Amino acid sequence: MTATKRTPAKYQPKGLTVLYEDKDIIVVEKPCGLLTIGTERDKSRTVHSILNEYVRKGDPRSRNRVYIVHRLDRETSGVLILAKSETAKIFLQEHWQETDKRYLTIVHGSLAPKVGTISSYLAENSAFTVYSTPDPARGKLSHTEYTVLKEIRGFSLLEIHLLTGRKHQIRVHLSEKGHPVVGDTKYGRGKDTYGTLALHARSISFTHPVSGKRLTFETGVPDFFTRLVGKTEAPADREQIPETEKARDPGPVPKQH
């Protein structure tokens, strides 16, 4: 696959790391604290607005734009895919169930069992708080698969395989299980003294909307995680993808800072 030419430094997206870019998609690493797209209540600078400026390269008359394929919560860091056309966006969303999404998170306490799937119907109340309901008519069925990777000092490091993608799904499921995400002031235990949410979209694997190739992007472990639980390695049984179809290291051309 041919990536786009390197963009002049003055047009680089400030506050985002571009992991890969071609004429159809752009993959970035979002930092915590940045919204994916603005809301009616919050019109602050977002991934969407930053990348719209980036693809227009300083030309306000340009019709270039990016399209939101999926979202990460403001407090969640990690890999995010955006499309450069309506057609690419629709393809990615229609094939979203085939997209493999892996997160790392640190929670309070020790989980039992060490591997499992949390399932419930998730709904949202008028205060924008998500919760589980026994009523299928009120909520959307959601599944969160987890594996405990490490336990230390009252914390558990988990790999999450997100089988569905509801708002606040990981945070709600783990909190309701009695193990809230570290730094979660909304669903956590009272006053959480950790100022950073320990939730990171570590990797994503998906089918390219034009080439049809399977691409995988994986980021490093955030420093905040290392400070809490020490160094960690990714699970050894991760789905293996043929070397010719990997995009884990896009190389010097598509990777832009």
Question: What are the pLDDT tens digits along the chain (257 aa)?
Answer: 445 455 555 567 888 999 999 999 999 999 999 999 976 665 678 999 999 999 988 777 888 999 999 999 999 999 999 999 999 999 999 999 999 999 999 999 999 999 999 999 999 999 999 999 999 999 999 999 999 999 999 999 999 999 998 999 999 999 999 999 999 999 997 777 788 999 999 999 999 999 999 999 999 999 999 999 998 775 644 444 333 334 433 332 223 32
Gap between the Cα atoms of 105 and 95, Å rounded = 25
Q: What is the pTM of this model?
A: 0.84
Catalytic residues: 73
> Taking a C-beta distance cutoff of 8 angstroms, is the pair 136, 215 a contact?
no
Choose the CATH number for 9-245 among 3.30.565.10, 3.30.2350.10, 3.40.47.10, 1.10.40.50. 3.30.2350.10
Domains of the chain, by residue range, sit at 9-245
